[in-house]
A and B are shown apart, each in its own frame.
Chain A
Amino acid sequence: MIAIIDYGVGNLFSLRSSFAAIGQDAVVTSDIEEIRRADRLILPGVGAFQDAAEKLRASGMDKAVKEETAKGKPLMGVCLGMQMLFERSYEYGEHEGLGLLRGEIRSIAERIPEGLKIPQMGWNALRIVKDSPLLKYTREGEYVYFVHSYSAVNCEESLLAVTEYGADLTACVGCGNVFGCQFHPEKSGEVGLRILKAFCEIGGNA
């Protein structure tokens, strides 16, 4: 069973539906016991980093996520949820993340040429930089759907795929049992469903 962690940010309907579409049982939950029982975890999120990080901490679920991940349970962050896996974010100040992956979150404005729109909104291609079980069904150049103004930097250790938007932006990360997608796999059609399927096949404690 997959637990989609509900800490009060974002719309989780599509994530749950996309797991159902690939025959996987997923629950949207804010129950710490359910998180502990789940085989794998999804950390979603849209909106502002600080607000989301505070809500996750206030719920106590940050601790559960860290502990379960330390035991080897596969975790995937999506969009802002992926950004929260890193050490810190510089979105309106400096805010602490979960620190499960090395790196930080910076505005894409610092990296892309002027004239490109922010957020990056729409379909962009993946360039795979490292083989990973998460991308075992993904081919170079396949398109996924992005909506973001910030992205992960200094994350070479976990970098799996980038996307070109005036500069190479972090699209997909993974290190050990911790994974993340900056794009929305649940909105990326068949390509996205294949990434979710690959995540579901990644071994846990066993």
Chain B
Amino acid sequence: MITKRIIPCLDVKDGRVVKGVNFQKLGDVASPVELAKYYSENGADELVFYDITASAEGRALFTDILTETARTVFIPLTVGGGINTTDDFDRVLKCGADKVSVNSGAIRDPSLVGKAAKLYGDQCVVLSVDVKRVDGVFRIFAKGGRENTGMEAIEWVRRCVGEGAGEVVVNSMDTDGVKQGFDLELLEKVCDVVKVPVIASGGAGCIEDFITLFKALPGVDAGLAASIFHFGEVAINDLKREMQRNGIPVRI
């Protein structure tokens, strides 16, 4: 049976993991390569690297790091951040990324998803969305959540999947950082309209939040989180054992 995936997300700026990471076993880790290795050896099913660099120098550093990671880590690697053109796809795919995640780039140029899917295949194109409730309606936010596009979220996801996005990362800005669980209402609405894999993001605070997610919504394929993994609040191996105990298919 196909297993539910657990995906740590690493924000990378100027070649370093943002805020750093503190593991009891490892101490402070700021090298994305080392952290990626650690996660892949400790139960992560996939990794997401998110490039939040603004400068060209930082971007070059990022691709170096990507190359180095892909040389040593042999699980799927998704790369996002600053993907605005098919040239950007090309740049990160050549460095060893398996999938490329687009967010604001697709909002700026709605033909990007379709163009990239034709060039690299649907399985390579991940649509990532930042969603927030505004007056009771789910809206798409751009530029790292700073700008309300006014677009209705479910329709936007449906449209991009129709154009060829092979997977959707749904990040709820309402639950993100609150650590009170995933946004089940939003995720259910997305699962209802797409047939491609759906990755839940935003809100995980403890192991129980993942159990609740996968039990409530069988249509969700993966859970993504950052800080609870980075700061050792949840160890991926513990999480997966608990999922298994709850009858959720998982790779151990």
Contacts and interface: CB of A to CB of B under 8 A. Distances in A.
Is the A/B pair a real complex? Answer: yes
A186 B221 contact: no
Nearest to A122: B2
B8 interface: no
A138 B120 CA distance: 31
Nearest to B76: A187
Contact of A117 (B93, B95, B98, B197): B197
Nearest to A46: B121
A143 B195 contact: no
Interface in B164-216: 166-167, 195-197
Contacts of B70: 13-14, 17
Interface string B208-232: 0000000000000110000000000
A18 B74 contact: yes
Contacts of A203: none
A147 interface: yes
Interface in B1-18: 1-3, 5
Interface string A163-206: 01100000000000000000000111110110000000000000
Contacts of B72: 17, 21
A121 B167 contact: yes
Interface residues of B, number: 30
Interface in B57-103: 67, 70-72, 74-76, 93-96, 98
B237 interface: no
Contacts, number: 79
A11 B3 contact: no
A32 interface: no
Given A123-B5, A187-B75, A192-B74, A13 B121 contact: no
A17 B67 CA distance: 10
Contact of A165 (B2, B67, B222): B2
Nearest to A147: B123
A38 interface: no
Interface residues of A, number: 31
A192 B167 CA distance: 23
A118 interface: yes
A145 interface: yes
Interface in A103-153: 117-125, 143, 145-147
A186 B197 contact: no
A120 B196 CA distance: 9
A123 B3 contact: yes
- Most chain B Cβ neighbours within 10 Å, of A47, A147, A192: A147
Interface in B114-142: 121-124
B221 A13 contact: no
B251 interface: yes
A145 B71 CA distance: 18
A70 interface: no
17 contacts: A11-B98, A47-B121, A117-B196, A117-B197, A118-B195, A119-B123, A121-B123, A122-B197, A122-B221, A123-B2, A123-B45, A123-B251, A124-B3, A145-B75, A147-B123, A165-B1, A189-B74
Interface of A: 11, 13-14, 17-18, 20-21, 46-47, 117-125, 143, 145-147, 164-165, 186-190, 192-193
Given A21-B72, A46-B124, A189-B40, 10 more contacts: A17-B71, A17-B72, A117-B195, A117-B196, A121-B167, A122-B3, A123-B3, A188-B74, A189-B74, A192-B74
5 nearest A-B pairs in the assembled complex, by CB-CB distance: A143-B251, A123-B251, A13-B96, A17-B71, A123-B3
